[in-house]
Amino acid sequence: MVFTSFFLSIFICVLILFYQWNDENKSFLYLCAILLICSIRQLELVLFKQLSYPTECAIIFIHENPITCMLGPLAFYYFRSIIQGKMIMDYYFLIYLIPSFIIAINSIPYYQLSFVEKMRYLSLVQNENSLIIVEVPMLLFKLKYQQYILPIYNFALLAYSFFYIYKKNKLKEFNLKISFLLSKFIWITIIYMLPFILLIIYSSTSSMVIFSFAFDNATYSFNLIYFVTLILPISLIVFYPTLIFGVNPSTNALSWPISNLKNIFKKSFEKVEEKTVKTEDLDRILNYFETKKPFLNTNFSIHDLSRALNITQIRISTCFNKQINIPFPTFRNQLRIKHAVQMFREQKHLQMSIEGISKQSGFKTLSAFYAAFRVEYKMTPTVWIEKNL
């Protein structure tokens, strides 16, 4: 029971690797690393409060702090990789890992202790239920400050990641399919963090002290912590299967048992299935727009999309209106404007007229192009060119 969340996270990582390994964008490796680190951090919290597994808890206790400090950088590079369509790994990543290196260096005196001594310190911390009272040997600063650094650094870098996404989205540098995937990850992050934030607030207000992320003087029960740790893996499986199976999952050995399990539990999970079907429809639509670029055809309509993908117009309209919250004509115009902007960036306006670019982008008339452009950028194309090129 104690290890349920940990094993679920490992199972999800196996599914991600199994279904997405052939994907050219290897950003899912960052996602797997994030899930594993989160599961280890959660397991440490559960073991710390449960008290029945001192050996396992001593193996994780403090040892995981350096890798926990990597959550923020991993999330930021996961976002970057999704937006740029390939796995990003540069030397700046090492700069973001400096706090992790500092924590590892600070923990050297503790690492050098014998396992018996580590068990003793763990027992003292558990009995006192506070890192403020027990002086665990550290090199540069006390352990209680180290426990403060972890959430502060990770939350700060996560906030910067959200700002980075906002900035890229404002510049129209990624398409709707990427935006859809990013929104899923952001929501799953909020779902994961919110219960822990509420637990910290509850613990702090109940004892009138601001406590660290995982250990200090918490009054909440083990069962509450245990169920909170299940939120992340279960919500991934039930509500965000695209993050696990990818946009275009390949057929493999798991397809047969999975399809049979779906048939067995079809009635029980009818609502979940309906949501999954809608998600699959949207994924197909977004993939079709990205690969075929049908919006460049001036006569392209929702009827043409329905015929090309063999999806009813009602289901297509539902995908746009309920899931993306953008009507089909607006979505089509956004893609056309994005294509025109890309032509501007490629200096195509020096070789042809703006009217020619508007027609190549799928607009029937120049006035329609100008109207759609003003909606997106609050200025005319000529003004945009003067300001940005």
Q: State whether 107 and 243 are in the same domain.
A: yes
pTM value > 0.85: no
- Same domain? For 48 and 169 the reply is yes
Contact (Cβ atoms closer than 8 angstroms) between residue 228 and residue 196: yes
Burial grade of 277 (CB within 10 A; 0-12, 13-18, 19 or more):
exposed
Say if residue 220 is in the same domain as residue 271: no
Residue 219: the pLDDT is 47
Q: Number of folded domains in the chain?
A: 2
The pLDDT, as a whole number, for residue 282 is 83
Please report the pLDDT score of residue 360 as a whole number: 92
d(CA 381, CA 362): 15
Residue 200 lies in a domain: yes
**150 and 186 housed in the same domain:** yes
Looking at the fold, whether 345 and 282 belong to one and the same domain comes out as: yes
Residue 61's pLDDT is: 84
> Could you say which of 256, 285, 319 is where a domain stops?
256
Q: Looking at 256, 277, 306, which one is the last position of a domain? A: 256
Q: Where are the alpha helices (DSSP H) in 293-353?
A: 302-309, 313-318, 328-345
The answer to whether residues 316 and 284 touch, using CB atoms and an 8 Å cutoff, is no
DSSP category for residue 221: -
What is the spatial distance between Cα 155 and Cα 162, in angstroms, rounded to a whole number?
11
| Block residue for tokens 């994780």 | 60
Which residue type occupies 229? T
Q: Is residue 106 part of a domain?
A: yes
> What is the model's pLDDT at position 357?
92
Residues 341-350: contacts with CB under 8 Å, at least 24 apart: 341/172, 341/384, 344/381, 344/384, 344/385, 344/388, 344/389, 345/389, 347/389, 349/385
Report the C-alpha gap between 234 and 125 in whole angstroms.
31
How distant is the alpha carbon of residue 274 from its chain centre?
23
CATH code, 365: 1.10.10.60
Let me know whether 158 and 51 are in one domain.
yes
| pLDDT tens by residue, the chain, 389 residues | 678 888 888 888 888 888 777 777 788 888 889 888 888 888 887 787 777 778 888 888 888 889 989 988 998 888 888 777 778 888 888 999 999 999 999 999 989 988 888 888 888 777 765 555 567 888 888 888 888 888 889 889 988 888 887 777 776 666 666 666 667 667 767 766 666 666 655 555 554 443 444 444 444 566 666 777 777 777 777 766 767 776 554 444 344 444 544 454 444 444 433 444 456 778 888 888 988 899 999 999 998 998 888 888 888 888 888 888 888 999 999 999 999 999 998 998 888 999 999 999 999 999 999 999 998 888 999 999 988 88
Residue 272 lies in a domain: yes
Q: What pLDDT is attached to residue 295? A: 92
Q: Does a structural domain hold residue 149?
A: yes
Q: Tell me: do 236 and 271 sit in the same domain.
A: no
State how far the alpha carbon of 41 is from the alpha carbons of 46, 68, 71, 141, in Å. 9, 7, 10, 21
| Number of other residues whose CB lies within 10 A of the CB of residue 190 | 10
Q: Are residues 27 and 147 in the same domain?
A: yes
DSSP secondary structure letters along 245-296: H-SSPPP-TTHHHHHHHHHHTTTTTHHHHHHHHHHHHHHHHHHHHHHH-GGG
**Does 262 fall in a domain?**
no
- Report pLDDT for 249: 47
- Pair 283, 350 in one domain: yes
Q: SS3 for 181?
A: helix
Decide if 237 is inside a domain.
Answer: yes
Residue 261: inside a domain: no
Residues 214 and 233 in one domain: yes
So what's the pLDDT on residue 250?
A: 45
Same domain, 297 and 239: no
CB 61 within 8 A of CB 118: yes
Statement to judge: residues 295 and 245 lie in one domain: no
Domain's final residue, options 195, 228, 256: 256
Range of the domain at 375: 267-388
